[in-house]
């Protein structure tokens, strides 16, 4: 299934090479932003970046910071690779992509450590693990290498937003049912607990993230029939 | 130039590495001061928390200077080594040295005429290092406060040692038994005192699902305090306080 999707993005990217000047947010460009939110969502459709979706969705705040960090890394590295796309030697292009992604991630990590120390402590190794997030490399290879700077930028933002949207959705349910809080603030009133309501400790563990993602996929496919594979 | 030639590939790679390395080195060194000061302030914040002073990170330094009266570096026999700055000691490095070369920091605080001794801790959890600070009251026996932190304990289980409710269980517990020998605090799974009302049992209730992290805390407190025995017993005998 993954291959099929990649083929699809490749054909669209060829389709995008048009000569005439088009407005910055033309219909096609807008689609670059909206497509990954639903039809081509990196997590629920392409099933990429699952690892971090399990690991940092216990609470909303780290999930939000992670999404923003991934967005910064993806947009920046997509732009850089797109700028260099006619210069990069084909044989070492994966290495070049890795170097670019890795240095962007280190930058984000350093900046967080200097300006948002608490958050960087909370995310700890997961910032470093953005390097291994398949979505980032996938977009570089499938899109930025063959498209212009502005389109690549939009593609990076769009895919990161699609990733972040699912991350935040999962974190919302996990924090709400796991600890009765949202962004660290108690939202389930004490009277519920007095009546015998108990936080679901299972929600704090990674398997429940997978199950939540599964439920989201279910709802998405129920709503959007195009996504259902035909046997 | 041919993009697939070996020369071009090498040139590209060399240039790329040079640019990336120098720009990363530049950002790292220009942010370094800020990062180090964050770590310093966090340490001060943790030390202050053990003596019951909660503060924002930005105000930590001023309050630290106000309440912490002495930073002492102790040798193995409990005497003071004036050459080493206690605040800069990294326990992790000290514990790797041979026993006689190890130096341990102790912070003496004074809050409203009360004197406290803050001892840094470091040990092993389930996945990685755990550390913390523990403050003893003037009798050098009763725990005034404890703060724990960890590098990679399981979220929701071992990582709960950083939570206030767990750390509060240590308040008022005693680290020496009535004979004056060190027992530390046992993070116990068979504690019959889940509300931790009995403050003389040297036990606090463990966290379910975090047995190894809990044992790590137990060992850490006992091991680290052992190093401070000569100093703690020096001025006033603990036995004397009991008799």
Cα distances (Å, whole numbers) of residue A43 to A9, A48, A123, A186: 16, 5, 20, 29
Domain that holds residue A75: 57-226
- Rounded CA gap, A152 and A157, in Å? 9
- A37 lies in a domain? no
Q: Which residue of B has its CA nearest to A91?
A: B4
Average pLDDT score over residue span A37-47 = 83
For B24, the closest of A89, A106, A115 (CB atoms) is: A106
* CB proximity B23 to A under 8 Å: yes
Average pLDDT score over residue span B180-194 = 83
- A110 lies in a domain? yes
Q: How far is A60 from chain B (nearest CA, A)?
A: 14
Q: Over the stretch A17-40, which tens digit does the pLDDT of each residue have?
A: 555 567 777 888 888 888 888 788
- A2 lies in a domain? no
Q: What is the pLDDT of residue A51?
A: 80
Q: Alpha-carbon torsion B38, B44, B50, B56, what sign?
A: negative
Cβ separation A96–B20 shorter than 8 A: no
Report strand pairing: B129-136 vs B143-150: antiparallel
How buried is A158 (Cβ within 10 angstroms: 0-12 exposed, 13-18 middle, 19+ buried)? buried
- Rounded CA gap, A109 and B88, in Å? 24
- A165 lies in a domain? yes
Domain ranges (residues) in chain B: 55-242
% of residues, chain B, pLDDT over 90: 24
- Mean model confidence pLDDT for chain B: 85
CB A229 within 8 A of CB A1: yes
- A39 lies in a domain? no
Q: Which of A83-97, B155-169, B225-239 has the highest mean pLDDT?
A: A83-97
- A67 lies in a domain? yes
Structural domains counted in chain A: 1
Predicted complex ipTM exceeds 0.95? no
Structure-token match 């050459």, residue found: B83
- A4 lies in a domain? no
- Rounded CA gap, A130 and A65, in Å? 12
- A12 lies in a domain? no
Is the pLDDT reported for residue A83 higher than 90?
Answer: yes
For B16, the closest of A58, A99, A114 (CB atoms) is: A99
């Amino acid at each position: 299934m993954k291959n099929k999707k990649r083929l699809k993005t490749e054909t669209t990217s060829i389709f995008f090479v048009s000569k005439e000047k088009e407005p910055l947010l033309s219909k096609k460009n807008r689609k670059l932003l909206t497509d990954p939110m639903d039809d081509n969502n990196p997590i629920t459709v392409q099933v990429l970046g699952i690892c971090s979706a399990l690991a940092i969705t216990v609470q909303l705040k780290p999930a939000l910071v992670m999404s923003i960090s991934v967005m910064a890394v993806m947009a920046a590295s997509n732009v850089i690779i797109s700028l260099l796309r006619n210069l990069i030697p084909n044989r070492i292009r994966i290495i070049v992509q890795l170097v670019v992604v890795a240095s962007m991630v280190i930058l984000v990590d350093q900046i967080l450590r200097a300006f948002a120390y608490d958050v960087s402590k909370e995310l700890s190794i997961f910032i470093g693990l953005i390097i291994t997030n398949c979505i980032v490399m996938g977009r570089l290879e499938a899109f930025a290498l063959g498209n212009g700077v502005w389109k690549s930028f939009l593609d990076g933002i769009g895919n990161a937003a699609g990733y972040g949207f699912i991350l935040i959705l999962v974190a919302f349910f996990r924090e709400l049912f796991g600890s009765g809080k949202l962004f660290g603030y108690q939202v389930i009133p004490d009277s519920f607990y007095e009546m015998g309501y108990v936080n679901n400790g299972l929600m704090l563990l990674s398997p429940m993230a997978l199950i939540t993602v599964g439920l989201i996929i279910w709802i998405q496919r129920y709503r959007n029939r195009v996504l259902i594979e035909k046997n | 130039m041919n993009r697939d030639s070996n020369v071009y590939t090498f040139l590209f790679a060399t240039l790329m590495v040079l640019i990336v390395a120098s720009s990363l080195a530049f950002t790292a060194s220009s942010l370094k001061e800020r990062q180090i000061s964050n770590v310093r302030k966090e340490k001060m914040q943790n030390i202050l928390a053990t003596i019951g002073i909660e503060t924002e990170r930005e105000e930590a330094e001023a309050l630290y200077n106000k309440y912490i009266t002495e930073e002492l570096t102790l040798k193995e026999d409990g005497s003071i080594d004036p050459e080493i700055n206690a605040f800069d000691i990294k326990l992790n490095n000290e514990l790797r040295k041979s026993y006689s070369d190890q130096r341990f920091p102790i912070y003496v605080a004074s809050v409203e005429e009360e004197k406290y001794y803050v001892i840094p801790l470091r040990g092993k959890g389930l996945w990685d290092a755990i550390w913390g600070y523990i403050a003893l009251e003037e009798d050098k026996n009763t725990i005034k406060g404890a703060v724990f932190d960890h590098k990679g304990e399981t979220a929701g289980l071992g990582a709960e040692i950083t939570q206030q409710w767990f750390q509060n269980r240590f308040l008022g517990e005693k680290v020496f038994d009535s004979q004056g020998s060190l027992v530390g605090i046992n993070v116990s799974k068979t504690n019959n005192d889940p509300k931790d009302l009995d403050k003389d049992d040297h036990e606090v209730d463990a966290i379910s699902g975090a047995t190894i992290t809990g044992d790590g805390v137990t060992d850490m407190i006992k091991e680290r305090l052992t190093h401070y025995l000569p100093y703690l017993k020096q001025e006033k005998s603990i036995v004397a306080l009991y008799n």
